[in-house]
Structure 1
Amino acid sequence: MQNTPTLDSPARSRSPWWFHLAGQLLQPWVRLRRDPAEPATLLQPGTPVCYVIERDGFSDALILERACREAGLPSPMQLLSGTRRKRSMFALTRRDGGLFGRNRHRVPNESLNQLLRSLEGQPERDIQIVPVSIYVGRAPNRESGWFSVLFSENWVMVGRFRRLLALLLNGRDTVVHFSAPVSLRTALQEAGDIRPERFTRKLARVLRTHFHRIRAAVIGPDLSHRRTVVDAVLNAEPVRAAIASTMAKENISHAKAWHKAKKLAMEIAADYSHPVVRSVSFLLSNFWNKLYDGIAMHHFDKARAAAPGHEVVYVPCHRSHTDYLLLSYQLHKAGVVVPHIAAGVNLNLPGIGPILRRGGAFFLRRSFKGNALYSVVFNEYLAQLIDRGVPIEYFIEGGRSRTGRLLAPRAGMLMMTVRAFLRAPRRPVLFQPVYIGYEKLMEGKSYIGELSGKPKEKESLFGLLRGLKVLRQRYGHVALNFGEPIELNPLLDAASHDWRSADTDPDAKPEWLNGVVDQLCERIQVNINRAADVNPINLLALALLATPKHAMAENDLLAQLELMKTLLVELPYSDRVTMTPMDPAGIIAYGEQMGWIRRVRHPLGDVLVTEDEQAVLLSYFRNNVLHLTATAAWVACCFLNNRRMSRASVLRLGKIIYPFIQGELFLPWDTDGFATQLQATIDLFVRRGLLESAGEGRLLERGPGQDDAAYQLKVIARSLIQAFERYYITIAALVKNGPHTLTGAELENACTLTAQRLSLLNELSAPEFFDKALFRGFIHKLRESRVVWTDPDGKLGYDQVLEGMVRDARVILSREVRHSILKITPGGDTEAAKPQPVEEVTAVATESSTSDELHRRHVETEHRQHHGKD
């Protein structure tokens, strides 16, 4: 009679000599840690033991045999009594192929059937199945080498050669996890009268689920999308319906339609790999050190505190191709899970695309139009990510800003995110705005070219290699500022009290949904701007670009920098705005070091100047922080062409112009809040001596034109004056051509041509001055305010309010600028169709409003100015 091996007297192993030899060779490279330390306490004495491991492999068998021997457990290499099995172990997954083979097959049923047959006719007999999980190099620390990270444990079943390298590099960090045994007899009794074949399939499925949970607990969730998410996407009801629709529409078989959907899913899906992320982090560490002098994160502790329990969606501004690399690198370095990033399919380049995909990038096409199947597959993929709690990152601007301003948001990704959450609102969504600030951009020159009319260069591998020359330069410091997060649930609660009980149909679109998404777009952009970082280059750009020749005497520049820092400190825009600690002298020295400005020596005092090309590039960094000085610039603009003005007039005109400035710069206040900021700014200007107050504070007056205070006001004003010139160009084009004459597109084109010509004539160093998107945004705001509307023929009509806006422009813009714009602006080709000239319209409007005491003061002020009285 054959003896049954027990814990008290384990049977002798029958492993061959070469197995023992391999174990001896492997021993110096492997250091085991058992979990639990004494697994024998888990087993039932006297009951045969059969071990089951997750993956078949020679090294795993060696490790298991050694772990059992050291723990005093029965050997997995011995005969399993009562069965025909030569070994007391089996694997759920077997690997085929040679040395590098990675094909795998699930074949546990044969082994389980053998164990079941051994119990037939012997009701007193039992076998305890012990799941054993083996992890080699599950989590290399930060000090581990690159190759150690590359070959650490993950979810992919690797080949024999890769497993050997993992043992050599990470074998000293090997964990053998013994789980509680499963009584085969008890499991059979609980299964009832089901057939043995069905029972073995069920038991194998239970074991696979068990190993999946243990692996997720030890090394993190499985984020290998091609093996997990794609299947879920293809099995989702919306995708199945889209496949059926494609079959009918294109008259193809189900198999072809299914493969078409799978191909689209594979084109989209990320293939996240922890070893690749860790490896790329090592490479990027050296890359950033060569490129930047430092990367700073501000307010990250607040973002980390808000994230637990939420589906986090990172929504940074988009200014460079390095944005997503920087953010992912910094998050990884801080110990936070790297988000999955929505990237344009144009970045799916040979050699680069697979790396980005394994770093968490999922690709989307620029347009979904004309491809219903693609739209459904992408929506479902995004829904799967959100449902699984995977952090996501995307840019709601749709593309990189070429001007340095935040672009008008595109709501597509936000809409898909909100609708995916409404389908399955399990985990609340948190949008995390991030401001990214640079001191120099790698793409700077290409941006200027595109704004000047050159076509955007298509991304290619050759273009990437050609662009490596930028690595020879230094790009200063980078700041990543985390703005105030935005929770989705309160927005939904405010829009609809019963949104939780709304229809879960993926195609459902409640009437309040567009309003929620629009509000979300606005708040994200506002919160990005409220987390701005003011670096030395921003401050230099604000000062130097406000002068005609982009040059200032050193003393004047020092005074202007000190004033701007004072404004930002004493009139805080937000508690999340950060600012350079450098003093004015340090800022100038840093600008010279970075090559942005040049010092011209002179006996009467040095002059700091920025060259023409550098001045154009600097406009980008000025635009990064224009919103921070908007209130100060407006007050200063009111005194650009006026010596004195009432406080009430400054506030009244500010309220009129504010909706348009707010739409362009994403300012955070409502109209009354902006008025409050204007009051505080005026008070600061009075304290600083830039303005004098009279008549118990009702009347404001600046010094004469040659006064230092007047000069400082002029510099502050010029940061915003180009916006008002664009507004005047738009209004002038409308009034000059007359109502119901131009379409929206024709007006945009007329404004762009006028601005381009004005830029040429005046040598403006800001190519965004004639950016069509800025004109489009202003026209959109005019439509929202119902000042302008579209008639049934698609032409633009306008209200008399527009003529009042022309009149008010006289307070801000000089006569020379207004006449230049009127002269250049196209319109009024025939005498019959020619409308009344803009200046005449303004005069008539002025005469008809004498009852308005505030306006009368404006007219008197300008009249005095036109007669040479400053």
Structure 2
Amino acid sequence: MPNMSTTDTPARSRAPWWFNLAGQLLEPWVRIRRDPAEPAALLQAGVPVCYVIERDGFSDGLILQRACREAGLPSPMQPLTGTRRKRSVFALARRDGWLFGRNRQRSPNEPLGQLVRSLEGDPERDIQIVPVSIYVGRAPTRESGWFSVLFSENWVVVGRFRRMLALLLNGRDTVVHFSTPVSLRTVVNEAGEIRPERLTRKIARVLRTHFRRIRAAVIGPDLSHRRTVVDAVLNAEPVRTAIAAVAAKENISHAKAWRRAHDMVMEIAADYSHPVVRSVSFLLSNFWNKLYDGIAMHHFEQARAAAPGHEVVYVPCHRSHADYLLLSYQLHMSGVVVPHIAAGVNLNLPVIGPILRRGGAFFLRRSFKGNALYSVVFNEYLAQLIDRGVPIEYFIEGGRSRTGRLLAPRAGMLVMTVRAFLRAPRRPVLFQPVYIGYEKLMEGKSYIGELSGKPKEKESLLGLLRGLKVLRQRYGHVALSFGEPIELNPLLDAASPDWRAASADPDAKPEWLGRVVDELAERIQVNINRAADVNPINLLALALLATPKHAMAENDLLAQLELMKSLLAELPYSDRMTLTSMDPPGIIAYGEQMGWIRRVRHSLGDVLVTEDEQAVLLSYFRNNVLHLTATAAWVACCFLNNRRMSRASVLRLGRIIYPFIQGELFLPWDAEGFCHQLQSTIDFFVRRGLLEATGEGRVLERGPGQDDAAFQLKIIARSLIQAFERYYITIAALVKNGPHTMTGAELENACTLTAQRLSLLNELSAPEFFDKALFRGFIQKLRESRIVWTDDAGKLDYDHALEDMVRDARVILSREVRHSILKITPGGDGEREPEKPVPADATSEALHERHVATEHHAHAPAEMTTVTEDAGVEESRKDD
């Protein structure tokens, strides 16, 4: 440990006997947690140390003295070498009064002036100033009493009596935060010719700002009464203008229009209360222990390190109503302020609504359409929060995912956030994506019902009480994984170097704003997926749901789990992905314990099976991590119906299909990056013996269908095969009906009905297979690629490339599946699959690839392989 004083060991305290006695009496009541745990590593050896604390107080001195002693730091009670100061500590403000007395400010200029003057005449001398923040009872624990919540740390400067009660009740939850020291010599040298008096005032101002920032990060911003925020909103120029416009348009008095705006902002505004937050955290400690076996946080330290100095906007995925409670609770217990959360007005229920509001929830209506006044009021309220530095949380998916996949983002809140920042760009905005992973969902059964066509049950207090029965179950572990944060300023700089000029006009809508918001939304979803946590239930779902009866022999399941873990470990999706440490036998045992799978005993080997209803629920957890295996699934899909295929064809077809997979799964690569991942995945399969590379690696071959390697490939492929079936349904419906015959809505409806019927006929266990939103997203990607467009009559027309996609589908989908889809799909005049004639131009890339593959295998036995009409593909006969 480095030496922080001018001697080889920390100097002994020279505090009076009564100070040391008080410290010994206080010691049993106080337990200190240092932040960082080893503050000595922050300091420079051999340079005198002077501590500065935010507020003067006898107890703060005792706590600081003990924290320094336990950390091996110089004592704050010793004289400061080279100065006339008897102590190596001073405070910015002094606490006065024994009961609830007022605070009397004392200027810190005198001790600071002494320190500055002590450096005069000796350019080699330095003093390191260490700001130290002390918080007593920031987060009462589960064992704490309710009374202790009232005396936990806040922004109010309390008297000595309240401080004594806080120490007695909450002293065992004391945090001492040591900040990075400041070299006073460096400050003096940089000041140049500034007079010492002015320099000391500047240093004091910087220290006060520092302490406010640290206190805001630890216990939350110093929010005024709710009425203050409401008044600020109503007095803002945009709101006053909107009120006058409503009064004129509807021919009502200004007072009536003002009352309408007042009612709106009161409906919206949070009523944040530190005691309520602490009380709810006290309750939730016991609640989570009853529900979950553990809550893990991944990459939190990186997120906390990036937050200071920024307006932080948390943007988690939305899987459950528990999301916002879990995230807020974990942030609070980790020493980070609870964000204000945007919640749907449907959650503003009796009893529950006021509690959520005091916990930081602000409510918004599902649609602002047709209500200009409400839109202006809400935008102004959000701008006030951002301007005050209040951390915010919202879900850009717009609602909970019923399928387990990330939903297409809705950019409304992002637009309002960006515009609020442009209006007053004082503090840079940082978006913090968060992946939330569960092992069992409280809402699981209701999600399945909604996907099957049942109407969504409206939230009500009675419904909430009925839903309390779910609390009897255990829901395993939860993971909160913090993705790579996204700074707004670089996106704005890239879009428009003079974006700051937009802040001059609050009503301006720069043409680049839409592009920035779209890119921001895309990056948020991508970074959420990059932070995925792979738990045992995800792995079981990937394996078991790929079998027709959702059952596997134990040995096969063990082998498949080991393969999947190896794939994710050797080819990690990102540096923030986390993977369960359980081995395959442990994963199976855990799945049985959680009730997801059942063991069927058999003399030839046990079989693990998941029942029908459980299989449907399990599809949610498979969908959480589909993106992690997308490249492996694509490679495996190429060998579902083909024994041999050229590497070039796998890559070529991968480039064609990638934009659609990327749009559905929010994958992080560009087309070349995806091909690089495909190459790495192919090499992994070759190393594992799942594929064999011949012809200097240009041609790939799998084993026969009954081979274990072929079986493992088939399991991997089926995690993605339903996506390709949906794509085929869409393009087949378009081609079968012909151009200029269907609108976008009619195509969506036809695809949904086809998928529903196919699901009934084949007993598919994935209700998202006929989710209209997935069809809508695919059609939108076709539009963006200019493969499909709308004619002047509102009907869909398409490029000949769509027919190429129909032809290429033969590589992936079996003839039986294709014909089943064509038979069910409405429209057209038969079941014939649309054909595209082989072009006469023999120099085309497709014919060239086919020629190379044919020439390479010219001497292959005729009973093993034939060359298909598909470019570069060699399809086996039905020997598997």
TM-score, length-scaled by structure 2? 0.76
User: For residues 716 and 214 of structure 1, what CA distance do their matches in structure 2 show?
Assistant: 50
How far 1:548 moved relative to its partner?
A: 0.2
Counterpart residue number, 1:46? none
Is the CA contact 1:224–1:272 (under 8 Å) kept in the aligned structure 2?
no
Partner of 1:374: 374
**1:674 corresponds to:** 674
Greater CA drift, 247-256 or 370-379: 247-256
Q: How does 1:637-676 map to 2 (within 5 A)?
A: 637-676=637-676
1:505 Cα deviation (Å)?
A: 2.1
Give the match for residue 867 of structure 2. 860
**Alignment RMSD (CA, Å):** 3.4
Q: Please state how far the C-alpha of 1:35 moved relative to its aligned partner.
A: 4.2
Residue 216 of structure 1: CA displacement?
8.7
Is 1:726 the counterpart of 2:726? The answer is: yes
Give 1:254 shift.
1.6
Report SS of the residue matched to 1:341: strand
Cα distance in 2 between the residues matched to 1:447 and 1:268 = 28
Answer whether contact 1:247 1:253 (CA < 8 A) is retained.
yes
CA positional deviation for 1:628? 0.2
- The question of whether the paired residues in 2 share the 8 Å contact of 1:272 and 1:360 is answered with yes
Distance 2:630 2:623 in 1: 11
Query: Residues 618 and 803 (structure 1 numbering): CA distance in 2 closer, same or farther, change over 3 Å?
Result: same
Q: Is the 8 A contact 2:150 2:275 kept in 1?
A: yes
Asked if structure 1 preserves the Cα contact closer than 8 Å seen for 2:220 and 2:336, the reply is no
How far residue 37 of structure 1 moved from its aligned partner, in angstroms, is 6.4
Q: How far, CA to CA, are the matches of 2:219 and 2:572 in structure 1?
A: 45
Matches of 2:621 and 2:542, distance apart in 1: 8
The CA deviation at 1:252 is 1.5
Is contact 2:599–2:608 with CA below 8 Å preserved after alignment?
A: yes
Paired position in structure 1 for 2:36: none
Q: Which runs of 5+ in 2 are unaligned?
A: 1-53, 60-95, 105-134, 172-211, 855-865
Aligned residues: 711
Show CA shifts across 1:410-462 (max 9, x none).
00000000000001110000000000000000000000000000000000000
- The structure-2 alpha-carbon separation of the partners of 1:396 and 1:291, relative to structure 1 and needing over 3 Å to count, comes to same
Partner of 2:392: 392
CA contact (8 A) 1:348 1:363 kept: yes
SS of structure 2 residue aligned to 1:844 = coil
Q: Structure 2 CA distance, aligned partners of 1:216 and 1:438?
A: 32
Letter in 1 for 2:355: I
Counterpart residue type for residue 844 of structure 1: P
| 8 Å CA contact 1:138, 1:219 repeated in 2 | no
Q: TM-score, normalised by structure 1?
A: 0.77
1:329-368 Cα offsets, whole Å, 9 max, x none, are 0000000000000000000000000000000000000000
Q: Distance in 2 between matches of 1:795 and 1:716?
A: 38
Deviations 1:640-688 (A, max 9, x none): 0000000000000000000000000000000000000000000010000
2:507 aligns to what SS in structure 1?
A: coil
- Aligned pairs for 1:243-262 (under 5 A) are 243-262=243-262
Answer yes or no: is 1:790 the counterpart of 2:795: no
Partner SS state of residue 720, structure 2: helix
Structure 1 partner of 2:274: 274
Aligned pairs (5 A) from 1:452-471:
452-471=452-471
Structure 2 CA distance for partners of 1:325 and 1:845, relative to 1, 3 Å: farther
Letter in 1 for 2:302: K
Per the alignment, in what secondary structure is the counterpart of residue 764 of structure 1? coil
How far the C-alpha of 1:224 sits from its partner, in A, is: 4.6
Deviation at 1:260, TM superposition (A): 1.1
Q: Would the aligned equivalents of 2:148 and 2:170 in 1 still touch at CA under 8 Å?
A: no
In structure 1, how many angstroms separate the alpha carbons of the residues matched to 2:137 and 2:875?
Answer: 77
1:178-577 matches, cutoff 5 A: 221-224=221-224, 226-577=226-577
Q: Quick one: which amino acid aligns to residue 307 of structure 2?
A: A
Change in Cα spacing, 1:169 to 1:807, as seen in structure 2 (3 Å) is same
CA distance in structure 2 between the aligned counterparts of 1:326 and 1:768, rounded to whole angstroms: 26
Question: Is the 2:704–2:879 Cα contact (8 Å) retained in structure 1?
Answer: no
Q: Kindly provide the CA deviation profile for residues 604-634 of structure 1, in whole angstroms up to 9, marking residues without a partner as x.
A: 0000000000000000000000000000000
The CA distance in 2 between the partners of 1:214 and 1:813, in whole Å, is 58
Taking the aligned partners of 2:548 and 2:726, their CA distance within structure 1 comes to 19
Correspondence 1:714 to 2:709? no
Superposed displacement of residue 502, structure 1: 2.3
Instruction: Measure how far apart 1:837 and its partner are.
Output: 6.5
Q: 1:231: how far off?
A: 1.1
User: How many Å apart are 1:763 and its aligned residue?
Assistant: 0.4
Distance 1:850 1:462, change over 3 A: farther
CA distance in 1, matches of 2:215, 2:667: 44
Can you list the C-alpha shifts for 1:118-174, whole angstroms capped at 9, x where unaligned? xxxxxxxxxxxxxxxxxx99857546422221465768999xxxx9x9899759689
599 and 62 in structure 1: CA distance in 2 versus 1, 3 angstrom threshold: closer
CA distance 1:709–1:480, change in 2 (3 Å):
same
Distance 2:605 2:100 in 1: 78
CA distance 1:219–1:534, shift in 2 (3 Å): closer
Taking a change above 3 Å as real, the CA distance of residues 739 and 215 of structure 1, as seen in their structure-2 partners, is closer
How far is the alpha carbon of 1:825 from its aligned partner?
Answer: 0.1
CA distance in 2, matches of 1:554, 1:153: 55
CA distance 1:747–1:140, change in 2 (3 Å): closer
Equivalent in the alignment of 2:813: 813
Distance 1:576 1:311 in 2: 23
8 Å CA contact 1:642–1:862 kept in 2: the answer is: no
User: 831, 835, 842: which is aligned to 2:835?
Assistant: 842
Kept in 2: contact 1:299–1:481 (CA 8 A): yes
Letter in 1 for 2:720: L
Contact 1:339 1:391 in 2 (8 A): yes
**2: CA distance between counterparts of 1:626 and 1:216?**
41
- Which position in structure 2 is the counterpart of 1:193? none
1:607 to 2:581 alignment: no
Question: For 1:431, what is the secondary structure of its paired residue?
Answer: strand
Contact 1:735 1:838 in 2 (8 A): no
Partners of 1:225 and 1:269 within 8 A in 2: no
Larger C-alpha radius of gyration, 1 or 2?
1
2:534–2:625: 8 Å Cα contact kept in structure 1?
yes
Q: Is the 8 A contact 1:807 1:846 kept in 2?
A: no
Task: Report if the CA contact (8 A) 2:100-2:162 is conserved.
Answer: no
Residue in structure 2 matched with residue 116 of structure 1 by the alignment:
none
The SS at the match of 2:227 is: coil
Q: Distance in 1 between matches of 2:755 and 2:214?
A: 62
Compute the displacement of 1:472 (Å). Answer: 0.6
Give the residue type in structure 2 aligned to 1:352.
I
Give how far 1:62 is off: 6.1
1:707-750 deviations in whole A, cap 9, x for unaligned? Answer: 00000000000000000000000001000110010000000000
Are residues 60 and 358 of structure 1, via their aligned partners in 2, closer, same or farther at CA, if it must alter by over 3 Å?
farther
- Distance, in Å, in 2 between the alignment partners of 1:62 and 1:640 is 79
CA contact (8 A) 2:294 2:478 kept: yes
| 8 Å CA contact 1:150, 1:276 repeated in 2 | no
1:168–1:140 Cα change, 3 Å: farther
Distance 1:779-1:848 versus aligned 2 partners, 3 A rule: farther
Residue number in structure 1 paired with 2:11: none
1:141-160 counterparts in 2 under 5 A? Answer: 142=141, 144-150=144-150
3-state DSSP class of the match of 1:432?
Answer: strand
**What is the DSSP-based 3-state SS (H/G/I as helix, E as strand, rest coil) of the residue aligned with 1:313?**
strand
- Which deviates more from structure 2 when the two are superposed, residues 165-174 or residues 346-355? 165-174
Residue identity matched to 2:401 = S
Residue identity in the other structure for 1:148: S
3-state DSSP of counterpart to 2:523: helix
> Per the alignment, in what secondary structure is the counterpart of residue 548 of structure 1?
coil
Shift of 1:249: 1.3
Q: Report the Cα distance in structure 2 between the residues aligned to 1:153 and 1:307, rounded to whole angstroms.
A: 21
Contact 1:654 1:675 in 2 (8 A): yes
